[in-house]
Structures are given as C-alpha cells and as structure tokens.
Amino acid sequence: MQRLTQNDFDALFSLMEKSFPADEHRGRAAQRALFADPDYAVYGIKDGADIKAFISTWRFDDFAYIEHFAVNPSCRNNGVGKKMLNDLIERLGKPVCLEVEPPVNGITRRRIGFYERNGFFLNTYPYEQPPMAAGKKALKMHVMTSGAAADEQRFQKIKSALYEKVYRVVKV
C-alpha cells in the first residue's frame, strides 16, 4: 500500500465513480482539489497505472476518518480489503472512524459485518452525512469507530469535526 498522488487521480476517480453513488462523492474538480489539503491523504494498491484498491482519509488531532474505501471488484474476496484496513490503522496510529449506510439490506449488513470483524463498532446515534456538493442529497448514515463504541460526547465531537473539516458546514 502506498500513498497516492495527483498523478494517480484519473484512475482513482474512475474507481470511485464505479464504487459509490454520485451523492457519496464530490465532483471531479472538487475531489482533485482535496490533494492540496495537508490533512487529506489517499492510500492505494497499484498495478502499473491501475488502482486495485484505495482508502481516502482525513487526519484530525485525536482520530482519523476514512472517507472512501473501495476495492476493484476483480480483487475482492481475497483479503485485500482486510489487509489494507489493518495496515492503514497501524500506519495512522490513532482511532479511526468511518460512515456506513444503515443495515437495511444484505449488502449494507455485509459491509457493517466486514468492519465489525476488523475491530469497528457501529454507533447508532442519529447521523446524517451532509451533501457532498450543491445539488447532492444528504444521506442517513451511521458512524463506526475502531477499538470501542463512542459514547455520546465522543460521537458529538467526531460529528462536529467531520461537519466542519470534511463537509465544510457548521451544524451539530
């Protein structure tokens, strides 16, 4: 796993578009602009110019946030995701959180199960992911945290930090 750069952006964004609905990622220019933010980083597995998998992260003082995590469908079910996630947590050296859709169907339940098997806890406090850009929808989500479930005070701190830095809104 290596840190990706703007040179990898086209392949990265292609996998992002294939892996996430439009409301769950920014447009091309806004996504590319994140590479200028010192607290944003993307790690990935490459095969030549192809991106096989990536994890995008935001660094905060006392935790890190995984914004996107995608594995190319041709590389799934062979431990790539588990290895990447565990390597990332070790590399970051601090608690990690991420957002997941509520467990409403088989796919969302399997995704939550994957994270639970890798040391994350589902926090069921009310949470809405703000729109990624004008014209996109807010999405009902849950926050998962590594190591332990968050108490309400910790959850509110995470939510406020995400809203301010990642989504650029002040709303808690």
Q: What is the value of pTM for the model shown? A: 0.93
C-alpha distances in angstroms, 134 versus 21, 27, 138, 171?
Answer: 15, 10, 10, 16
* Strand intervals (E) in 19-150: 40-47, 50-59, 64-71, 96-100, 120-123, 128-129, 139-140, 142-146
Write the DSSP assignment of 128-147 as a string of letters: EEPPSSTTPPPEE-EEEEES
Domain locations along the chain: 2-166
Supply the DSSP symbol for 77.
T
Check: CATH 3.40.630.30 for 2-166? yes
Q: What is the pLDDT along the chain (172 residues), one digit of tens a residue?
A: 999 999 999 999 999 999 998 888 999 999 999 999 999 999 999 988 889 999 999 999 999 999 999 998 887 778 888 999 999 999 999 999 999 999 999 999 999 999 999 999 999 999 999 998 888 899 999 999 999 999 999 999 999 999 999 998 865 5
Q: How far apart are CA 110 and CA 171, in angstroms?
A: 30
> Is residue 96 exposed (0-12), middle (13-18) or buried (19+ Cβ within 10 Å)?
buried
Residue 49 structure tokens: 């110019």
